[in-house]
Chains A and B, each alone.
Chain A
Amino acid sequence: MEVTVLIQATDEAFKIIDEARNRALDVLNTSVKFTAEAKLLEERKIQSIFKGAERTKSEVLSFLATFALLFFPFWMPLSGYFDVFHLSIGVGCCALVAYISHDLLFVNVRLGDMRTIVKRFFAYIPWLIYQIYLANIHVLKIVLGPKMPINPQIIRFKTKLQTDISLVTFANSITLTPGTITIDIKDGEYYVHAIDEAVAYDLLYGGEMEDRVAHVFMEAEHVYVQDVLDVARIYGALR
């Protein structure tokens, strides 16, 4: 009798101890959870502050860049009046346009790259004009030839260019060159109409223009002929 009472009492005591331990664990867990949540919230708050600051900074930068690009090389030569009244109108108009469309001009462009891209682009234009001159002579020969040896065809080739602006520059360079017209760009493939085999062959297997465009816009994962030449010069000087 006494033994059973004793066993029951010990059981009760163990039960009470278990319950107490469970409760203590619960309390501990919830408190840990709360602290973790609070920490997470705080981190998120800090992150959002930093992200917001970064976005604001990039927006301000693109606003200023757009403003400068619109005001100095575009508004001032157009206007031609340099008194205070007209210049203040110009500042107002450029600020308005830059506010409306500052996110249009500079998309995914690092400001440090801008100088190199502009320099290389202006170096690319004379070469393009020379190519247009060559292609003009080629088309002239075809047109003036008595047999008119044309063979119109649509060719399709893959491109290694990736960014929008380089794709568009290459497409427009092809269209500017006589004898070839870019029809479409779809899934990284160009559809080009060519007037005869020689031009088509040039586009399909030459690829110098594409290489130069890639060089201008600093496309990644791609070795440029121009870069190799630059490095070769340095290498030669070192030797």
Chain B
Amino acid sequence: MIITYEDIIIKTLTRVLAPFLQLYALYVIAHGHYSPGGGFQGGVILAASFILMVISFGLDTARRRLSEKADIIFLCLGLLIYSGTGALCLALGGNFLDYSQLVKVFPVTVAKARALGILFVETGVGFGVMAVMTSLVYDISTGGLPPERE
């Protein structure tokens, strides 16, 4: 159980920092194919913003912001995006995650198609990692008990 302590400094700074943290995570995900970073790192930063909210505002407030149901939906969505990209390549006649086959769907060059495929996959990975990390923290802080009201 997480006991909330009324600390005005931590709460206010969390409030101000959280949107920037989330946007930075999305930046890391979206630019993973150009610069250091990628799906996993971005997902962890995105999860960190919610974990910060769990720590500073308490579990209930964080759950109101991102309910466990939405968490599971994000988890499945991430997995769907990842495996969907792989399966699309498979369906287009290549190997699993063979991004060069995406040329047949999107009007771009082969190199651009590879970058685009990596972007799709990393978006999926990012959502998945974010959802798993957040649900891990939820489970740890509730002791695995189901939420009473949702």
Which of A25-33, A51-59, A94-102, A127-135 is found at the contact surface with chain B? Answer: A94-102
Bound-state Cα–Cα, A86 to B16, Å:
26
* Shortest distance between the CB of A164 and any CB in chain B (Å): 5
**For the complex, would chain A's binding face be called helix, strand, loop or mixed by DSSP majority?**
helix
* Shortest distance between the CB of B25 and any CB in chain A (Å): 9
Tell me if A43 is interfacial: C-beta within 8 Å of chain B: no
Bound-state Cα–Cα, A74 to B19, Å:
11
* Shortest distance between the CB of B106 and any CB in chain A (Å): 12
A70-B23, A90-B30, A172-B9 known, 8 other contacts, Cβ within 8 Å: A66-B19, A75-B27, A94-B23, A97-B26, A100-B22, A101-B18, A164-B11, A185-B7
Q: Judging by beta carbons under 8 Å apart, are A93 and B26 in contact?
A: yes
Bound-state Cα–Cα, A170 to B9, Å:
10
* Shortest distance between the CB of B117 and any CB in chain A (Å): 14
Chain B residues whose CB sits within 8 angstroms of the CB of A168 once the complex forms: 8-9, 12-13
Q: A81-B34, A104-B19 known; A96 and B26 CB under 8 Å? A: yes
A-B CB contact pairs (8 Å), 12 listed: A70-B23, A75-B27, A93-B23, A97-B19, A98-B19, A100-B19, A100-B65, A165-B12, A168-B8, A172-B9, A182-B9, A184-B7
Please give the number of chain A residues whose Cβ is less than 8 angstroms from any Cβ of chain B in the complex. 29
Chain A, 46-75, contact with B by CB distance < 8 Å: what is the 0/1 string? 000000000000000000001000100011
Tell me if A105 is interfacial: C-beta within 8 Å of chain B: yes
